[in-house]
Amino acid sequence: MKIGLFFGSFNPIHTGHLIVAQAIKELSDLDEVWFVVSPQNPIKKNKKLLHEFDRLDMVRAAIDDNYSFRASDIEFNMPKPSYTIDTLIYLSEKHPNHDFKLLIGEDNVKNFHKWKNYQKILDDYGLLVYPRPHSEKSDHRYNNVEFVEAPKIDISATMIRSLIKEGKSPKYLIPDDVLEIINAKKFYW
């Protein structure tokens, strides 16, 4: 199987994530997209993240009706901060019959050379790159990179958290099941 790995803090997951993942799945040769919930991003550091299991629960709720999507907690028991290459190697060992590709936004291509073992990621896995609003077209010089013409979605988890904190509704920006969890547990208030 060909699996696209969509890493993120998903704090919270929103419709932009889902639209991009579905578009990439349909516009590439992927069989599935796995949402890898990252406990801690080594570049962003820890910034008021909900507990990883709460974020995983929201991802599961958001993708429950899509047989092509999976939620992954693979990084929860790995050393922190989590590095993509370590997760890719671990997943490859655990699932030797799967081919993994990394899904990243075009804004990440510019600094991809700063990622741990970036050349090994390119050589052994490759990238599926989706466009991001407000990012310039990349003039990368990497091999094993495919640009996918997914929609540019200008929704951010930061914007959603701000709306909730201000007592405003993020309806339609996040799936209803995710909104129910947020309201029930009073996340981001």
* Per-residue pLDDT tens digits for 74-133: 999 998 888 999 999 999 999 999 999 999 999 899 889 999 999 999 999 999 999 887
Torsion angle, alpha carbons of 13, 106, 92, 83, to 10? -80
**Above pLDDT 90, what percent of the chain?**
80
Task: Count other Cβ atoms within 10 Å, centred on residue 75.
Answer: 22
Residue 139 reports pLDDT greater than 90? no
pLDDT range class, residue 45, cuts 50, 70, 90: low
For residues 23-37, average pLDDT: 97
SS3 146: strand
For residues 162-173, average pLDDT: 96
What is the pLDDT, as a whole number, of residue 79?
A: 87
Q: For residue 161, give the nearest of 150, 148, 170 by alpha carbon.
A: 170
* pTM metric for this prediction: 0.92
SS3 121: helix
Q: For residue 34, give the nearest of 15, 54, 8, 53 by alpha carbon.
A: 8
Q: Does 134 or 67 have the greater pLDDT score?
A: 67
Q: How far is it, in rounded angstroms, from Cα 121 to Cα 127?
A: 8
Both tokens assigned to 4? 């696209």
Instruction: Tell me the three-class secondary structure of 165-185, residue by residue.
Output: HCCCCCECCECHHHHHHHHHH
97-128 exposure pattern, b = at least 16 Cβ within 10 A, e = fewer: eebbbbbbbbebbeebeebeebeebbeebbbb
For residues 122-151, average pLDDT: 86
